[in-house]
Amino acid sequence: MNFILESLQVLVLCLWYNFESFVRLFIPAKRKNVAGEVVLISGAGRGIGRLMAQEFASLGAVLVLWDIDQEGMKETSRLAQERGAPRVYHYLCDCSDKAEVYSTADQVKREVGDVSILVNNAGIVTGKKFMDAPDSLVEKTMEVNIMAHFWTYKAFLPAMIANNHGHLVTIASSAGLIGVNGLADYCASKFAAVGFAESVGLELLATGKDGIKTTIVCPYFINTGMFDGCQTKWPTLLPVLEPEYVAKKIVQAILTDQVYLLMPRGMYFCAALKNLLPMKQSILLGQYLGAFNVMDSFRGHTKKLQ
């Protein structure tokens, strides 16, 4: 195809996609049916993981729960069964341990079957300034928040590719889009999670595997205990999010094959400004929005899961 024809095709498609996006503001996208789908959620012992499990349970999905908290998983399993999940399985798995991820994944495939919706949700935060963070905690942050994603994809993506069917969900963070003072290792891991998910998504499209969807979730602080003590300077623009709201929005995004989900809506504006404005102006607005001091009163701990 010559340059003129190809350029015209791109122009027409751009106009169509913009029109389609505008229409979606008024006509919601059709929700897909996940009844009977095998949904694996890491970090399912509490918080957002537990709430997402309950949402999927009410939709008839088969649930596979991973966590390092056995009692927490048992409670999540009980709640999911109450919400109507046809089957619930739970496995003790430390996602930071590659060998454990692979062995537990093999067990899941033997006992449950192929996972068709993978939700990488487990996460930790040190909450320390970079020079104050022990090397062991920095390494743990990277192992849980990003390296675990590599191992779970390696374990479960081959079956999705063979079937050209599946959904890869990354619970990242707004700190994976915009750097935050006091969260150097956490931001690094979440930036990596966003980039990894985007890259694999494009790889799948380039090889014709368009039946495998990707959803990347970037929420602001969530009131789960993970970021206890953190304050938001302007709660109207950037509120601390309630977990129930976040879980419902994530599941809705998965059901409608939404690629990016930023919460609250103000994050779309903040992310766009970061890429459009001069650096000095971005820093000025960051100070105005409280980004420089948001971690000053942090009192969470690394064992909390997001």
What the block records as the tokens of 289 is 């929005």
- Give the distance from CA 96 to its chain's centroid: 17
Domains of the chain: 35-289 (3.40.50.720)
CA–CA separation, 266 and 225 (whole Å): 22
Other Cβ atoms within 10 Å of 24 Cβ, number: 12
Angle at 272 between CA 240 and CA 178, to 5 degrees: 55
Question: How far from 99 is each of 81, 96, 148, 228, 239, CA to CA, in Å?
Answer: 30, 9, 11, 32, 39
What is the arrangement of strands in the sheet containing 38-42, beginning at the earlier edge strand?
88-92, 62-67, 38-42, 117-120, 166-171, 212-219, 260-263
Q: Could you list the active site residues?
A: 186
CA–CA separation, 258 and 250 (whole Å): 9
Q: For every one of its 306 residues, what pLDDT tens digit does the chain have, with 9 covering 90 and above? A: 688 888 888 888 788 888 777 777 778 778 999 999 999 999 999 999 999 999 999 999 999 999 999 999 999 999 999 999 999 999 999 999 999 999 999 999 999 999 999 999 999 988 888 999 999 999 999 999 999 999 999 999 999 999 999 999 999 999 899 888 888 999 999 999 999 999 999 999 999 999 999 999 999 988 887 777 677 777 777 788 999 999 999 999 999 999 999 999 888 888 888 888 888 888 887 777 777 777 766 766 544 433
pLDDT for 95 equals 94
pLDDT for 237 equals 75
CA–CA separation, 68 and 70 (whole Å): 6
CA–CA separation, 131 and 128 (whole Å): 8
Give the residue from 114, 305, 144 showing the smallest Cα distance to 227: 305
pLDDT for 305 equals 38
> Token pair 């971005």 is at which residue?
282
What the block records as the tokens of 72 is 């927490």
> Token pair 């309950």 is at which residue?
54
Give the residue from 109, 107, 117, 108 showing the smallest Cα distance to 55: 117
Q: Is 181 exposed, middle or buried (0-12, 13-18, 19+ CB in 10 A)?
A: middle
Whole-model pTM? 0.90
CA–CA separation, 265 and 278 (whole Å): 22
pLDDT for 87 equals 96
